Structure 1
Amino acid sequence: MSSTSGGWINLLIVWGIASAVGFVSMAALMLVGDWSVMQALFAAAVIFLGLGIILSVLFLNPLPGPQVPGSAGKKVVAADRKPAAVKPVANPAPAVAPAPAAAPAAAEPVPAAAKPKKAAPTPATAPAPAAAPAGTQGPGKRPAALSAARDNRPDDLKRIKGIGPKLEKLCNSLGFYHFDQIAAWSDEEIAWVDQNLEGFKGRVVRDTWVAQAKELAREG
């Protein structure tokens, strides 16, 4: 029997098995699974096609064809042949060396910009005495004042009874930031401050600021 007829017989056997399995599956689904005819037929078709393709791939691959007698010996003889020796070329022409590239012109050094010298740190100094604000006048002597609080840490002047936030800002604007400043006021300086507290005149004497400031300065 020729290889072609054998292939057709194998093909019929494979798809016959697939159809038999599909038919048995259809009958089992209708009897056991209580499927309808259409449902069982669809499932049987899927099983038939899937099984047929799988069996065809596994069992219907073409076998290698028959070898011609004596071909194996020819291949061995061909493999035993040695490659022909390559004849050397007589007096090969020397390769022309490439011309050396011209060296790049040396770039002129650019003078480095002179680095600016760092300014020496200014030593910390005590706040300068504040100048008398415009509009301050009256009897007495103006006390020594500061342009800013020492170390930028003013005392809480609101601890003095009679000084609220607004009056504390007014004292700071006049250059008074610390308890020891108020504690050192003389009678003349008290009179000057009392006269120049806009809207709060007379509060220094009435609320005894100096005595309270001395106590607070001792407490630190």
Structure 2
Amino acid sequence: MTEPENAAPQRRPGGRAAKVTEAVHRAVLEAVTEQGVENVGIPDISRRAGVRDSSIYRRWGTRENLILDVLLTASELTLPLPDTGTAHGDLTAFATALIGYLDTPLGDGLARALAYVVDSEEIAEARNTFWETRYRANQPIIDRAVVRGELPPDTDGRLAIELLIAPIHFRHLLTRRPADAAFVDTLVTSILGAMRTAPAKRPHRA
């Protein structure tokens, strides 16, 4: 019995749906790597994955949803958590890895997809989930620095990570200026200095 074209997307932990998702994800990654995110189209993905266009649209809705889903999933496995023994070393290692990732077709594609894609409820949820996951994944950098006495106990870890990645994305997407080792060292040193002298966080009022 065939599935109606207007059926709601179904998420199943395994079986045919999982195989289709895996094939489509692999096809998108291949296409982005070969021709850049702006040239990825559903017909090409359908051909590469051996999956009907209608199945892709039923599962992801739009080309933008599909690309963002795939790139977010791939990026979660790409930037490991550094542990160099110092806050400066950890932030430097993370920044350097991020710069390298953004210079790849997948990293560049993700940055552009996040920046330019038109929001829908699904995309907004995917974006928020991605950033919350990244903040939680990198919080140990700040926690370890607090334990070592490099940063005060009330350090805002989310703000520290935002201060680190924002100038890197700015250079990558807007000014196209190089983010070299000197830039990273200046950036990390400035962030640590700012975090050490920042006023204590105020409790949120109900």
Q: Which is greater in Rg? A: 1
The bucket for the TM-score relative to the shorter chain is under 0.3
TM-score, with structure 1 as normaliser: 0.19
Structure with the higher fraction of residues in helix conformation? 2
Report the TM-score when normalising by structure 2. Answer: 0.20
